Amino acid sequence: MLALRDLQAALAGIVRGEDQPRLEAAVIGDAITAAARLRIYRHHIEQSLTTALAATFSTVQAIVGEDFFRAMARRYVAGDLPCQPVLAEYGAGFPAFIAGYEPATSLPYLADVARLDWALNFAFHSPAANHLTPADLSSLPAERVAELPLALAPGTAVLRSSYPIDRIWRVSQPGAADETVDLGVGGVSLLVLRREDDAAFVGLSEAEEAFLSAVERGETLEGAAEVGFQTGGAFDLSTTFARLLALKAIAATQHHFVERVEKAL
């Protein structure tokens, strides 16, 4: 009799395509042999995980086609089984896998499109949370506002690609106009955001990307602004910060900090 841990490891091996004679011996066979039962199990798991990946990375599938996508997904599934029960959380490593998947080398932007798909999926499933608002800042003197520790709102992410993945994503959506994307136009920086019942992305300038990357690292408003000014591009802190507040991109994790500062004044 296999111990539970050994049984789980053997089942994972079956999904990866490994022979597991000890597991076959532990499975009862009648009209259907033990080996056949395990093949059915493997096929079911493989199909379920491939379908889950297709739902999360729908833009990738639209670009490469269903057959190519499913072949690629099956290779990924064999080497990276989920460790949690929520299928929407499965596939974090798929973009990196695509980057090293030899049959996809003719599509050098595909891994970045996958990162965008994943970021949108992550944003969509992120929990709703309070965000920083102008009202939180209105009663503070400027020097106190500069000391605020900043963080991105849950589900928010900054993406940088050497390719115009925003345009590639848009023309790959169902019902999009049939048009060609010129890869020569260069790269793009994007801010992915959670919405009330959806997820979205907006474009960023080089300075805005630098500012938000500093926010991701936990910089204060003053520290992030210094990074933005150092990019060499045009950076207007007031305009940038107002835009981010309007987009609900900054977390209200510093709300209690604001309250403490107000009480100390």
For every one of its 265 residues, what pLDDT tens digit does the chain have, with 9 covering 90 and above? Answer: 556 676 666 666 766 666 666 666 666 666 677 666 666 656 677 888 999 999 999 999 999 999 999 999 999 998 888 877 788 889 999 999 999 999 999 999 999 999 999 999 999 999 888 888 888 888 777 777 888 888 999 999 999 999 999 999 999 999 888 888 999 999 999 999 999 889 999 999 999 999 999 999 989 999 999 999 998 768 899 999 999 999 999 998 554 444 544 454 4
CB 220 within 8 A of CB 254: no
Residue 220 · residue 226 · CB < 8 Å: no
Distance CA 263, CA 35 (A): 70
Q: What pTM does this model have?
A: 0.82
Query: Which pLDDT score, from 0 to 100, does residue 261 have?
Result: 47
Maximum Cα–Cα distance across the chain: 80
Q: What b/e sequence results for 32-54 when a residue is b if at least 16 CB atoms lie within 10 Å of its CB, and e otherwise?
A: eebbeebeeebeebbeebbebbb
pLDDT of residue 264: 43
Is there a contact between 95 and 87 (Cβ–Cβ < 8 Å)?
no
Token reading at 38: 């395990």
pLDDT score of 120: 97
